Amino acid sequence: MSSASMTSAATATSAATRILPSITIANCTSRRFCSSSRASFSTTAVRTSFPRLLPLERWGRVAGGKVDYSVASSPKCAAASDIEQLRSAREDVKEILKTTFCHPILVRLGWHDAGTYNKNIEEWPQRGGANGSLRFEIELKHAANAGLVNALKLLQPIKDKYTNVTYADLFQLASATAIEEAGGPKIPMKYGRVDVSEAEQCPEEGRLPDAGPTSPAAHLRDVFYMMGLNDKEIVALSGAHTLGRSRPERSGWGKAETKYTKDGPGAPGGQSWTVQWLKFDNSYFKDLLVLPTDAVLFEDPSFKEYAKKYAESEDAFFKDYAEAHAKLSNLGAMFVPSEGFSLDEVQPEKFVAAKHSSGKA
C-alpha cells in the first residue's frame, strides 16, 4: 500500500472511531435520538459510549455499487425516534404506496420483525420482537423472510432521509400505514422502539410460521402462542391475507400467476387470496384460500367461530384486527419513553396568559 493510501485509511479510521459523550438511558423524556451534542435524559439508568460512525458504516457499506444492508445499523444510542420525523416519514410511505403498490410486502416486513418475539424470554433483545433486527442480512436470509429485502430497499431512502427514526419504528409505521391506505381500520399505534445495533442480536431462525405445516392448527398455535397471542388474534391477523399474493418462489405455495395477478399492479404474478388484493376488507374469509393454514381456520372449531364472525361482519373484523395488529407491533419492543408515544395524540394548547385574564388590574 502506498504512503498516500495508508494516510487516507488512517484518516478514515480515525474519523470512524471518534467517541461521542456518554448518555443516560431509561424512562427518557426526550423523543429524539442522541446526536454528537450531549443528550440529557431523566432518571437513573445505564450509561454507554459508542463510536460515531461514518455514513456508509452507519447505513451499510457499498460494494460493487450496491449497499450491503447486512452491516446497516442505527446509531448505538437507545433513544426514541423523533416524532416530527416520524410524521414526515409516514407521508413519504404514503407516496411510495401510491406509486409501487407495495402494501402487502410492507405489512409483511413489520409483522416479521415483530413476530420473532418469545414471551418465555425476558431479556431484550434475546426475546426478539419489534427491534429492527430484520434489516440485517443474516435474518433477511431466513426462509420465512424470502423477498423482504425488496421491502427494505423501498424504505431505506426514507431511513436515510429521517436519521432520527429507528428501523424498528419505521418498519411498524410502514406496516400500519399500508393497512390504513388500503382501506383498512385505523391502527392504534405507538412509537419509540429501540433498535438492536448488530447482527449478532438477531433471533435464531424458526420463530415465524411456515406456509404449509403438516398440522396447521397446532403449528399456528405453537408459533402465535409463543408470542402471547390467542385464537381470536390468530384468525384476525390471518385476515390480512386479503392483501397480497402467495408467490411459489418465496413460500413454495400458490400459482405462478392468475387472471387477477398476471398484469400486476406492481410486479406481476403470484396467486392472490382475494380478487381485489390491494383492498383491505373481509374478503379473505369469503373468497380464495391458498395455504393449508387458510383452510384450517374453517376446520378447527375455535378458529371457525371467529372466521365465520369476520365473514359476516366487516366491522367486527376491523375492530379485532386493529387491536391484534397494534399488539403484534409492540411485541418484544423496548420503548423510550417507556410508555411510547402516538403520532396522532392531541398536542396541548399553548398557554397564552392574556386569554386567562380579565384585563382589570
Grid cell digits, residue 355: 386569554
Which of 318, 251, 314, 278 is CA-nearest to residue 104? 278
Is 142 an active-site residue?
no
Dihedral through CA 220, CA 128, CA 33, CA 141, nearest 10? -80
Active-site pick, 103, 112, 142, 241: 112
Which of 60, 57, 23 is CA-nearest to residue 38? 23
AA letter at 174: A
State how far the Cα of 55 lies from the Cα of 174, in Å rounded to an integer.
23
Grid cell digits, residue 155: 424504505
238 phi and psi, to 5 degrees? -60, -30
**Which residues of 220-315 form beta strands (DSSP E)?**
245-246, 271-272
**Catalytic positions, written as ranges:** 112
